[in-house]
Amino acid sequence: MADFLDEMAQSSRDRADEALRVGDNILAKMRSAKPALPLNLQPGRFELIAEVKLTAPSVGVLAQPEDPHQAVIEQARAYLQGGAAVVSVLTEPTRFGGELSHLGAIAGAGLGPLMRKDFLRDPIQLVEARAAGASGALLIARMLGDAMIDAMLYTAHHAGLFVLIEAFTEDDLHRIAGAHARRRGLGPPLLVGVNCRDLATLRIDPERFLRLAEHLPLGLPAVAESGMTTPQDIARVAEAGYQLALVGSSLMQAPDPKARVVELVDAGRSAYRVRR
């Protein structure tokens, strides 16, 4: 890790330490939370993960609403009405304008399955996610050792969370495949993601999707993340065997996010080819 990812890792560590100090309260909230809305992926069908975030370090401020909680609810509603399978909610506060309360606000509206997207370092942050109403959470393989990945997946299993583990390299993918094997089929679902943005420099490398496609672990739904803005971008990754794509900034900037989601989902479903 270096640069931006280092910064995010330290910020997350500080927040995890604070969560651990009130861990009993978070566990109590999780136990009383409503059941998570399930992630329903149908074999052979492409899906979209649509992201809510107010700021992106790569492009700057995406939205400055007077009422952030109502704004994120309305954005999530538009995504789901357009056919998104999951809403990803940024909860990182220092560079993305996120808050766990944004996830909680959307969950309270009961719209659909939500994924906490953050730079998570400790299992307590998965408990936080479930307590806030998430159905799943993102992990970054590069930030976690194998033992911590196993601990996080164990916690996710008991919390009822699906997990998307993000990779940047072939080695990341091999580590994720190993973690999947060690799970021995425990649910909820595990997804493997490839992020084409370098989280040290924030530069985009779209060819990474194609370079790593042949190394994606079989048996896990694959997610293309970052850098996609057009239906052609979506069709390209779907044709390469990615069953899902995660799109954020371009949807936040779209004049009609519902219509844009429809357009991207249609492009992905027309082009999707199942990996074999």
At 138, is the secondary structure helix, strand, or coil?
strand
Helix (H) or strand (E) holding 47: strand 47-52
Q: Print pLDDT tens along the chain (276 aa).
A: 458 888 999 999 999 999 999 999 999 999 999 888 999 999 999 999 999 999 998 889 999 999 999 999 999 999 999 999 999 999 999 999 999 999 999 999 999 999 999 999 999 999 999 999 999 999 999 999 999 999 999 999 999 999 999 999 999 999 999 999 998 878 889 999 999 998 777 889 999 999 999 999 998 999 999 999 999 999 999 999 999 999 999 999 999 999 999 999 999 999 999 987
Burial class (CB in 10 A: 0-12, 13-18, 19+), 195: buried
- Strand, coil or helix: 162: strand
- Give the tens place of pLDDT for each residue, 49-103: 999 999 998 889 999 999 999 999 999 999 999 999 999 999 999 999 999 999 9
**What DSSP string runs through 246-274?**
EE-HHHHH-SSHHHHHHHHHHHHHHH---
Nearest to 123 by CA among 103, 150, 93: 150
What are the C-alpha distances in Å from 7 to residues 4, 11, 94, 172?
5, 6, 10, 20
- What structural domains does the chain harbor? 4-21+44-271 (3.20.20.70)
Which tokens go with 56?
């992106």
